[in-house]
Amino acid sequence: MPDEPAALEEARRAFARRMAEMAAWDDPRFEEAVLATPREDYLPPPPWLLIDPGLAAFHRSTEPADLYRDVLVALDVAKGINNGQPTLHAAWIGKVRPQPGETVVHVGAGMGYYTAILARLVSPGGKVFAYEIEPHLAQAASQNLAAIDNAEVRAGDAVTSDMPQAGIIYVNAGVVAPPLAWLEALNPGGRLVFPWRPTADVGLALLVTRRATGFAVDIFSPAWFIPCIGASDDQIALRAPSRHDAAATRSLWLSRDRPPDDTATAIYHDFWFSSSPAE
């Protein structure tokens, strides 16, 4: 019979290496942070319901080694909430590249797994504020993150709650458009990464970076997440984008700084997206 602890350790090390490869980020701290964060510590008790996104297949497991594959793990089956696909999050974290001393806001923290990784990446001197609107998940995240002194769970709605100034806002729920407060909370050079769901047939991952004037937009992959409560009503759009316009987006502007012009790809009350690059 194989040495189960050794096999689990090897699975965890291979998982951390794979995550580092997917991040496309040559900072060894990321692989170290993943390795230092056991996934099973941020999940419900076994048996776990595992979801293979490539095969759309489901199965239950009590083997911790099964968690170190590129699978989703259900957190709340009734509401469709899961722990997130590891390689997707690796790519997203590689896009925002958290640095020691930075403040991160994590919207939709679930039970805290990716919060813990982010907290390790901004140490020393940084902090993660983790927002979770589902009370039972927020309570679990608070317990799971209790030993990580630079992570703070805030049970409530990140759309309407006060938000600290941050270098990174990391959003794990689909939004029709980011709330103005999220944009205003970004420090100069700050990064907002989120799933943009402006219409039923558009799902894109956006990296928005605050510039001296305007916000640069990098569309880097498809993205389909459950809706963000309070930010998923498509009626907030003054002009929703077509699929073509959404894909052509390269910048975001606050309307008070620059009114929409003929480069607009989508228009909302307080800001608009443009096909023209940020200055």
pLDDT digits (tens, 9 = 90+) for 151-207: 999 999 999 888 999 999 999 988 999 999 999 999 999 999 999 999 888 999 999
Write down the mean pLDDT value for the chain. 93
Q: Which residue has the tokens 């996104």?
A: 53
Enter the CATH code of domain 80-274: 3.40.50.150
CA 37 to chain centre: 17
pLDDT at 58: 87
Tell me the two tokens of residue 78.
């009734």
Interatomic CA distance for residues 256 and 235, integer angstroms: 21
pLDDT at 82 over 50: yes
Tell me the two tokens of residue 45.
């008790």
Interatomic CA distance for residues 15 and 269, integer angstroms: 43
Structure confidence at residue 5 as a pLDDT band (50, 70, 90): confident
pLDDT at 1: 42
Mean pLDDT of 82-107: 97
Q: What is the pTM of this model?
A: 0.94
